[in-house]
Chains A and B, each alone.
Chain A
Amino acid sequence: MKEDLASRLARLRRETGDAPARDAGSERVAPPPARELPAHLVSNLARRARPDAFAALRTRGVPARLVELGGAWLREERFERAHRHGEVRLASALGADPASLAFVASDPRLAALDPARALFLDIEATGLSGGSGTYPFLVALGSFEDGAFVVRQHFMASPDEERALLESVAASIREAGAMVTFFGKSYDRHRLEDKMRHHRVAPPFDDVLHLDLFHPLKRLYGGSRPDDRLATNESELVGVARENDLPGAFAPAAWFDFVAGRAHLLEEVFRHNLEDVLSLATLLAHLSCAAAESELDGAELRGSARHRAAALARLHERARDHAQAAHWYDAAAERSTACGDVGADEFARLRLARARAHERCGRPAWARAEYEALARHASDPEVAVRAADRATLLATRGGSTKADASDYEPLLGRVAERALGAEARAALRRLRARLGDEGPAEA
C-alpha cells in the first residue's frame, strides 16, 4: 500500500483547494474565480437549494483501515466460524441445502448454488431512484474462506474512483459465479449493472446464479408481520437487535459530506452495510432450514410456523406434489387451531385450499364434506361460492345427475356477482349452470 486514504485525501484537498489544507498555518487555497452571474439567476437558483437536514448528526474522521485496491479502497472484516450474528452462527450458512433453497425460491437453477463459494452482496448508494447520477459508493461482498466469513467492503472516496471500484467488484462476482442478496434483483444488481455499462466494464450478472432472499422470505412469512424489510426479517428470524443503526436514508448525505470534506457519518454507514451482509448469511441458513422445517442448532425454528406451513403447502401445490401440499395444509390448519386467534375468513380460505389438496391426492369424499360445510357456513362469499362449485361438481361426478339446488339457494341468494373476484365469478357461473339457476332476477 502506497498511501493511505487520509493522507491521499489531504493531498488532493491541498491541490484542489476545496477544503482547508492540513498543514498548520497554510492559507486556504482560493478557489478559481467564479464568474459573475446575473443577480436574477443567483436568486432563482438559491430558491431551489437543497436544505441541509443532517447538520446535527455529523461527526468527524476518515474511515479507518482502508487499503487501496486498483484505484479504489477496501476494508476487510473477518469473522470466525463460531461467530454468532443474532442467535445464529454464520457458519450455519455453509450447511444450507441448495435443493431446499431452490425449492423455496422457486428457481430450479439455484440447486447448483454452493453457499461456500457464493458472494453475499449489499450496496450503499447515493439514491434510490437510480439513474446515472447515483453512485454505489460502498459495496460489501461477504464470502466463506477456510470456514471463516470474510466481508470485503469496496469503497470509493470520490466519483472518479467509481470505475476502479466496479472493476474489482465485477471481477469478484464473476469469479464467485453465485451471489446472494436481499432485494438485490430489484435494486443492487441494477445500480451496479447500470454503472458498469456507464464505465464500459462488462457486467458479470448474466452468468451468475442469483438468490434474492426477499421474495422467498416474503412468500414464507408475508402477512405474519408488519412489513418484509431486511430489518424485520433479521430481528424475527435471526434474533438480531441492532443498536443505533443508521437509517439507510442517511447514507447518501454521509458520503456527500465525506467527499466535500465535511464532517460525516460514514463510519456508521460501513457498520450498517456490514451488518446487512452478516444478516444475508444467517437468513440464508434460515431459509434452507425452513424448507424442511429442520431445526438449527437444535433450537426451534423462528418465524410464524403456521404461515410457513401454509406457504410450503402452496409451494408443493405449485410443484404438483399434492400429497406434500395436503400434509402442509394439515399442519397449517392444526397450527392455526392451536394458535387460536386466526380470523374465521382466513381459516375458511385455508380449509378450502386444504380440501382441494386432499381432493387432488385421492380423497374426494373427505374433500366433498369439507366443501359442503364451507359452502354452508363460510361467511366469505368467495370461499362459499368456490366451495359450492367444487362440492356440486364432485356430487355430479359421484353419480347424482344434477346437484341438489335447494342446498345452495341460501348461498345464491346472498352473493352478488359484482363483489366477487374473477376466479369466484367463474365458479359462480359454473355453479349456476350446474344447478339450472337462471341468475338473480334483478340482473
Chain B
Amino acid sequence: MKGTGRAGESWDDIHGESRRERAGDGEREVLRPTPRKGSARRLRGAMSVDDLARTLSGHVELGGRVTHWERIAAREARYGELPSRLDPALLEMMAERGRERFYEHQTRAIAAALDGHDVLVATPTASGKTMTYTLPVLQRLVETGGRSRSLWMFPTKALSQDQSSNLNVLLGDLAAKAPPLEDLHSFTYDGDTPPSIRRTLRERGHVVLTNPWMLHQGILPNHAKWSVLFENLDHVVIDEVHTLSGVFGSSVANVLRRLQRIARHYGSDPRFLLSSATLHDPAAHVRTLIGRDAVVVQEDGSPSGERVFAVYEPPILDAVAGLRANALEEARRLAQVVCGPKHQTIFFCNRRTSVEVLTRYLKELAPRIGLRPDEVRGYRGGYLPNLRREIETGLREGKVKVVVTTNALELGIDVGALDVAVLVGYPGSQASFWQRAGRVGRRGNSSLTVMIARSDPIDQYLAQHPDYLFASPQERLGLDPDNLVILSEQLKCAAFELPFRGERDASGDVVVRSFGENPHVAGILDYLSGEAGFLHRKDDTWHWMADAYPAQDVSLAGGEPDNVLVLEKETGKALGEVDREGALTTVHEGAIYQVEGETWKVERFDYTNRRAYVSLVTSDYFTEAQTDTEVRVLSIDEEAPDARGWSRMRGEVHLTTLATQYKKIRFYTRENVGCEDIALPPEEKDTEAFVLVLADEAAKALGLQAGTRAAAWSATGSLLRRVAPLYLRCQPQDLGLASEIRSKHFEAPTIYLYDRVQGGVGLSGVLFSVFEDLARAARDVVANCPCVRGCPACVGPLEEVGEAGKRTATALLDFLLGTPLEVLTGADAPSAQR
C-alpha cells in the first residue's frame, strides 16, 4: 500500500500514474509556472493536494530538498452494526447529527463497553473516538434514569472545556428525547471553577470533566464531598492516554489506583473507557495504567483519502560544520508553495517562540501568497480561552487558512478538516508525528504532510532513515507505577483518603492487595507508620495520622498549571499565560512577548505575584534567554569507585537554575543585535542525581581536558541521558543533565543525571544499579553509527564535538566498560578506528 521514493526523484517520476488520473477530471485549475495578470489570490485558485505535491516536487529551489516521498493509498470506510440494545433515542439523536452509520472500530468499542468491559480505542486522530465513550455513557444514563455518573479526565484544561460545551448540547437533547430524564448536566471541574458553584457541580454533575491534577489534589482527597459521584460512578473516561507516560504517567496510574479504591468504598466499580493515539502494544500500556486488561480496538475503520508525506531537508550552509539552514526560515519558504486561499495549512512548531516568529513571518508573507494577514493565525497554550475559541471557530468554518501552532492543536480539539500539515522539526515521538499528521485529510480527502528536518540528531537520523517514521510504532511508553518513590508518595495520599487493610497470605505475612501488586506496599506503609510518623498501624490496618494534606506536597510532574499571568500594563487586561518554569526565560524584563505575531515588551515582571506587565511595541527583534544550571552536591548516599580511575555515585543535589542573559535576535536574519542581563532570583530545587566522576589521570590519558575535547565529555552525558529511558521506564524529559569538565566539588570531570521532579523519584538509584547496561547501550549507539567523526545521531555534529569527539567518546565508554586505559590510548585501539 505504500510507495517509497529515493532522494532527488520528482513527484512525477514516482506518481505519474496518479497524475494521469487527476488530469482526466479536467476540473482543477493548473498552476501556471509564471503568474499572469491578476492578484495573487486569484492566481492561487483551488489546488488539490496532488497539485501541491507536484508543485513542491517540481519547484526549482525547494523540490530537490525533499529527500523522501511516501504515499499511503486511500482507504475505504468499514462500517459496523451498533448493538441493538442501544436506546432508540440515542440513535435518533445521532441521526439528527448526520450520523447514521458507524465505523467498525466504533461499533466494536461501543459493544464492548455496553458489555461491561474496559475499552481502549487506539486509532488515529479524527477517527471518531469521542463517540466510542460518549454513547456508552449516555446509554447508561438512560438505563439508570439519570442516576449514573461518569468522570472524564483530559490531559489538558483546554481539552476538557472544549468537550464540555459539546457534551452539554448532547445531554440537553437526550433529556428532551428520553422523558423520565431531566436536567442532565456536565461540568468542567478545574482550577477555574468558581468555588460558589462547586457544590452544585459535585451533586448534580452527571458528567464531571477534569484533569489529573484536580483529581489528585481536589477530588480524591475530598471524596466525601463527591460521594454522590462515587456512589453512582459507572464510567471513567480518559482521553489521550498515550500522553500518560514517564514520571507523570506513572503518578497518574497511581492516582487511578486511588480512584478505584475510593469507588469501591462507595460501592461502585467503574469501567474505564480510554482513547489514545496509535500505540506500540496498547494492551500492555493500558494494563499498567489501570491494573487490568481492557478490550483493545485498534483497527481504524474510518475512511481516509490518499496521504502524501514529504521529508524535507534544509540546505547545508556550511559543509564542513554540517550546519543547515534554519528550519523556521525553510518553513517560510515552503509556505509560498503549500499555503493558499482555497485550502487550509497547519504548521507545527516545537517551541512557543517559534510559533510566534513563524506567525509573524507568514502574516507578512500573506499578501504575496494570496492571503490576507488575518487569515494567518497563531495558536498555542498560554493564549486566553476566548482567543483560542475564536481561532478554533475560524478553522472549523474555513475562514482561517493558515494556523501556526505547537502541540496545543495536536490533541483532540475540534478544528475541522485541514489539508496540509508542515512539521517544523520532528516532534520527538512517533505518536506525536502521527497525531500531527492526523490533523489533515479528514472526510476522505487526500492530504499532504511535510516534515522539515532540523539540524538535530533525531531529525537528521529520520531524514536518513525515513522508514522508521512510517513503520508501525516502535516506541514503548515508559510507565512504571511501581517506582518505589512514586508509589510511596502516592500511598501517602491514598492513606489520607482511606485506611489500608492488610490480609494474611499463605505464609501468614500481611499483604496489601488494594493498591496494585507491588510486594513492598505493606512494608512502605509500615515505614510510613514508624519512623516517618505519617500513619498509625492498628492490627492489620493503617490509618492516616498526621496534620497534613499530602496531595499538596506530592507532585504529579508534567506541566502543572501554576501560571504567570501576562497583563497589558496600561489597562491591566490579560493577554496570556506562561507556565512557571517558562516564565524565567519568556517574561523577564526586556523580553519580547509575542501573541499572534504582535510584539509586546515586558516592562515589569512581578515575580512574587506571578504577573508580567507588557506594552505593545514595534520590534524588529525577538528575545531568547539563556539559563545556567548549577549543581551542588548535598550528600553522597552510595558510591562505587572503580580502581582504574572513575567512580559512579548516587546522592542528593541542589539545583540552581538562573536565567543569566538574553539575546535580541532580528527577525529573518537571525542576527544577534544585543545582549542584556536578566535579574531574576534563581529557581531552586533539591533532588537526587546519579553522578559519574572521572579521575584526572584517566581524563588526561583519554584526552579529555582541553578545548573542544571537553565537548566529548558532555556529549557522552547527553548520550547516556538519551538511552536512559530504555532502563528507567521514564521519558528523556524526566531526566536533567549537567556536565562539568572540572567540577568544583570533585575537582574532576563530572556528569550529573538528575531527577527533574523536586525531591526525586528514585531514577538515580536505578541508574546507579544499571549503569553498566546503560554504558553498553550508549557505546552501541556510537559504534553502530555509520558516521566518521560524529554526527547529530550519535555524539553530536562535528562542529560541536570537534575532530576527536567521536573517538574520545567511544574510548571513554570503552574505558567505563572495562577496556584497559593502555589499550585505548594506543594508536591502534579497535573502537577508535570505527
Contact = CB atoms under 8 A, between A and B. Distances in A.
Interface of A: 12, 15-16, 18, 31-50, 52, 126-127, 129-133, 158-160, 193-198, 252-253, 256, 259-260
Given A38-B765, A44-B762, 7 more contacts: A34-B530, A37-B527, A40-B638, A126-B547, A130-B222, A159-B538, A195-B224
Interface of B: 221-225, 227, 484-485, 488, 495-499, 509-510, 519-520, 522-524, 526-528, 530-534, 536-539, 541, 543-552, 637-638, 650, 652, 688, 759-760, 762, 764-765, 768
A39 B766 CA distance: 12
Given A34-B526, A48-B532, A256-B545, A194 B495 contact: no
Nearest to B217: A131
A36 B523 contact: yes
A197 B764 CA distance: 42
Nearest to B552: A129
B224 A260 contact: no
B533 A49 contact: yes
A49 B522 CA distance: 18
Contacts of B545: 126, 159, 256, 259-260
Nearest to A46: B531
Contacts of B546: 50, 126, 133, 252, 256
A50 B637 contact: no
Given A49-B533, A50-B546, A252-B547, A39 B527 contact: no
Given A44-B688, A194-B224, A131 B496 contact: yes
A264 to B, nearest CB: 13
Nearest to A256: B545
Interface-central residue, A43, A160, A193, by most chain B CB under 10 Å? A43
B537 A16 contact: yes
A287 B570 CA distance: 48
Contacts of A18: 536-538
Contacts of A39: 637-638
B495 A256 contact: no
B297 to A, nearest CB: 36
Nearest to B651: A43
B485 A44 contact: yes
B547 A37 contact: no
Given A44-B485, A132-B224, A256-B546, A32 B510 contact: yes
Contacts of B227: 197-198
Contact of A41 (B484, B543, B549, B638): B484
Contacts of B544: 132-133, 159
Given A18-B537, A44-B688, A35 B222 contact: no
Nearest to A159: B543
A197 B768 CA distance: 47
A38 B483 CA distance: 11
A345 B548 CA distance: 44
Given A32-B510, A41-B484, A132-B497, A49 B536 contact: no
A41 B547 CA distance: 23
Contact of A44 (B534, B537, B549, B760): B760
Among B519, B527, B538, B539, chain A packs the most CB atoms within 10 A around the CB of B538
B533 A127 contact: no
Contact of A37 (B225, B484, B509, B551): B484
A298 B696 CA distance: 91
Contacts of B488: 41, 45
Contacts of B768: 40
A194 B227 CA distance: 9
A18 B764 CA distance: 35
A195 B497 CA distance: 11
Contacts of B519: 35
Contacts of A48: 532, 759
Contact of A50 (B225, B533, B536): B533
Nearest to A253: B547
Given A46-B531, A50-B546, A198-B227, A132 B524 contact: no
Contacts of B538: 12, 16, 18, 158-160
Contacts of B485: 41, 44
Nearest to A12: B538
Nearest to B231: A200
Contact of B536 (A41, A196, A259): A259
Contacts of B551: 131
A132 B532 contact: no
B225 A40 contact: no
Contacts of A34: 523, 526-527, 530
Contacts of B528: 45
A162 to B, nearest CB: 9
29 contacts: A16-B538, A18-B538, A31-B526, A33-B509, A35-B520, A35-B523, A37-B520, A40-B764, A40-B765, A41-B524, A44-B688, A45-B524, A45-B528, A45-B532, A48-B532, A50-B532, A126-B545, A131-B496, A132-B224, A132-B496, A133-B221, A158-B538, A159-B543, A194-B224, A196-B224, A252-B546, A252-B547, A256-B533, A259-B545
A132 B536 contact: no
Contacts of A256: 533, 536, 545-547
Given A132-B498, A158-B538, A194-B224, A41 B532 contact: no
A15 B484 contact: no
Contacts of A41: 484-485, 488, 524, 762, 765
B508 to A, nearest CB: 9
Contacts of B495: 133
Contacts of A130: 222
B523 A197 contact: no
Contact of A131 (B221, B526, B530, B762): B221
A47 B545 CA distance: 18
Contacts of A131: 221-222, 496-497, 549, 551
Contact of B225 (A45, A126, A197): A197
B511 to A, nearest CB: 10
Nearest to A162: B543
Nearest to B534: A50
Contacts of A15: 539
A132 B223 contact: yes
Contacts of A52: 533
Nearest to B262: A132
A308 B550 CA distance: 43
A47 B533 contact: no
A126 B519 CA distance: 31
A274 to B, nearest CB: 22
A160 B223 contact: no
A-B complex: 6 closest residue pairs judged by Cβ atoms: A35-B523, A133-B496, A40-B765, A133-B544, A252-B547, A194-B224
A193 B547 CA distance: 19
A47 to B, nearest CB: 7
Nearest to A128: B547
A287 to B, nearest CB: 28
A354 B57 CA distance: 85
Nearest to A195: B224
A127 B547 contact: yes
A43 B637 contact: yes
Given A15-B539, A34-B523, A40 B650 contact: yes
Contacts of A196: 224
A197 B533 contact: no
Contacts of A193: 224
Contacts of B530: 34
